[in-house]
Structure 1
């Protein structure tokens, strides 16, 4: 009997395990707010504890982003799962914020190791007629996992005093299951020499992809800063500005943007990638503006409406941008190219929140948030201009190709 799972089961298993990494990444959001009240650390420490995950992820991406192109997808995915399991155990027993930060950093390193390898594996295991959709599925796994992790943990912290034990005990079990599932997948990458050399920090960026990649940078900045607000800053805004302390409302608010983004990734996959990216960035701009008005008016339902609008835009924009690039990447380039995409994404996800956390005590929470929102809106506006220009170029290229075909057809006849 074959040791490996069937292709369909492998595709489903790899996608589910990848989503579990981000379920775990979203889980600490409500618990960090609870720990802040229990242990009495500052808002700056809170945002650092949240964002050190993204910094660890970037280090792993830059150092090991191309590793699975050399040693294979499965060994890298398994190493990432063991690292994630260790971080869940540290979260489970952490006695103070220092150990939580250590766990968060290790979680980021494990997720960074997993990101490019799992993205490549998802595309390679996808059925032939679903290759383009696979990029959107990977994006939905990221966003959906982050949002669902925050929601479930928020509910647990609301209704049980043992939320930390419950949440991270279950997540440790999920990682063990993930190790078993990935062990039974077959390898899709051809091993190549140069594994040690590939550990030097670098990103694979073939010349044919550079224009699309650089045009996508403001898309990622606006898109990833949007859910970072809900996952990293919204607990403080809810507690200090709205006067709300419940874990469920914190988790639900953090869930809305990423959760909607996951749904959007599937819906937007039916449309052309450029159209999805352009429409998505427009919705991010609109959503951030609505959130800004809702916070200024201290009207939480309006914040939720903005979260849904911007979340839907984030899913469409990120998934669309991945679909613009993924079909043009050669197999041996996949891990390195995805490392580049996620490096930009997670710099945008982590660094602005750290900066906001340091500025809030000096500027005040709401002025800091207003500046944060202004950056998101500005980057979204730049994205709209850039993507609209590329859309016009795409149209001109198609017309030129059609004209050449029309000219050469009579000659063939």
Structure 2
């Protein structure tokens, strides 16, 4: 019966793009709330980053296990399952009254986001009204969602009633609408055997691509480690280091980095990504260094300027790393290569942040932020040097058909 009401491909493309943004907005919504939960449930910075990290580890596991499932059973069933799990996670947040509930909510949310992240980009490519449109949306939607989620949640916590409840009610409402609309999109994949076999986790880099991949790794690690710091401990730094208890400002910390990154990726869309690799790492390192000066001096203004510069580097790095890898790999190699890339990205996103949580609990938040940022500056400098080497033999004509960010 639903077949009579199927959406046209252009409308379905828009539905999937908005769903992509909504998913990532839900994943960053807890960031401004971490400070509230920390005060309400009386837990340490280590526990806070553990709540953050279990989400990413669950997401990685989901990516590795479910990543290829939609190629066998279809895009729509996987997306509907991911939305259903996301609704479960949001309800867990809604009723949470302790750390255990937060951990459970983030694990379920990680599984849901991993399944969605593996399927949404492919669905956009399937439905794209013209070449290049899917690459643009895949490159900007995740960062846009992360930024809007942090900003909107920060505003709701600061100005709206029931700060730990209202945001989740609104997210559930949006997810229910998304489920209804996704059920109406046309299926773009014919069912084929091998679904169970596709659930076996596989990750690796084809041997001929390892040299090029190694040149991209430092930029990848620096950019994702920085975003992990902002999304886990960023709001706590605003509260404890700068003494600002306005939750909207906490949300702006995440939004400044991510939305600046999304805009940068959009503006760079016509550039050869390999040529952006070294400059993106240099700008990321510079922005992080300026931010550290702000943290060291206690100046929120200086730190904000640094975050804006780092956001430019973050967006450029996302565009450059995934775009460069697209140019290196043949079509039949990209699935394996991007699975390895996503795994490394999310490990860089979570593991350093969790180590920082331990360090902040033992030695204090300000010294931890300074050391963490200092390491990112060093890695960024190394990435700048290696990025120049990767770009050197590449001709300007090597522009990928699509570049995307997880």
TM-score (ref. length: structure 2): 0.91
Contact 2:8 2:186 in 1 (8 A): no
Contact 1:137 1:265 in 2 (8 A): no
Residue ranges of structure 2 left out of the alignment (5+ in a row): 399-406
Does residue 35 of structure 1 match 2:37? yes
Aligned to 1:109: 111
Matches within 5 A, 1:387-402: 387-395=387-395
What's the CA shift string for 1:38-61, capped at 9, x where partnerless?
221111111111222111101111
Does residue 302 of structure 1 match 2:325? no
2: CA distance between counterparts of 1:14 and 1:204? 29
1: CA distance between counterparts of 2:137 and 2:378? 28
Does residue 219 of structure 1 match 2:219? yes
Contact 1:119 1:335 in 2 (8 A): no
Larger Rg: 1
2: CA distance between counterparts of 1:37 and 1:241? 16
Query: Would the alpha carbon gap of residues 220 and 322 (structure 1) be closer, same or farther in structure 2, given more than 3 Å must change?
Result: same
Aligned to 1:269: 269
Aligned to 2:280: 280
Contact 2:228 2:349 in 1 (8 A): yes
Query: Would the alpha carbon gap of residues 187 and 216 (structure 1) be closer, same or farther in structure 2, given more than 3 Å must change?
Result: farther
Residue ranges of structure 1 left out of the alignment (5+ in a row): 399-413
Aligned to 2:402: none
Q: What SS does the aligned partner of 1:394 have?
A: coil
How much has 1:2 moved relative to structure 2?
5.1
> More deviation in 199-208 or 36-45?
199-208
Query: Would the alpha carbon gap of residues 211 and 185 (structure 1) be closer, same or farther in structure 2, given more than 3 Å must change?
Result: farther
How much has 1:328 moved relative to structure 2?
6.9
Aligned to 2:75: 73
2: CA distance between counterparts of 1:188 and 1:336? 22
1: CA distance between counterparts of 2:5 and 2:364? 58
Matches within 5 A, 1:87-106: 87-106=89-108
Aligned to 2:375: 375
How much has 1:63 moved relative to structure 2?
1.6
Q: What SS does the aligned partner of 2:191 have?
A: coil
Contact 2:295 2:303 in 1 (8 A): yes
TM-score (ref. length: structure 1): 0.90
Q: What SS does the aligned partner of 1:393 have?
A: coil
How much has 1:67 moved relative to structure 2?
1.7
What's the CA shift string for 1:225-249, capped at 9, x where partnerless?
2222221112222222212222111
Query: Would the alpha carbon gap of residues 397 and 137 (structure 1) be closer, same or farther in structure 2, given more than 3 Å must change?
Result: closer
What's the CA shift string for 1:242-282, capped at 9, x where partnerless?
12222111111221101111111111112111123332222
Matches within 5 A, 1:317-332: 317-326=317-326
1: CA distance between counterparts of 2:325 and 2:129? 19
Matches within 5 A, 1:109-258: 109-130=111-132, 133-203=133-203, 205-207=205-207, 209-258=209-258
2: CA distance between counterparts of 1:222 and 1:136? 23
Contact 1:72 1:191 in 2 (8 A): yes
How much has 1:135 moved relative to structure 2?
2.9
Aligned to 2:339: 339
* Runs of 4+ more than 3 Å apart: 189-192, 204-214, 325-338, 395-398
How much has 1:164 moved relative to structure 2?
2.1
How much has 1:214 moved relative to structure 2?
3.3
How much has 1:205 moved relative to structure 2?
4.1
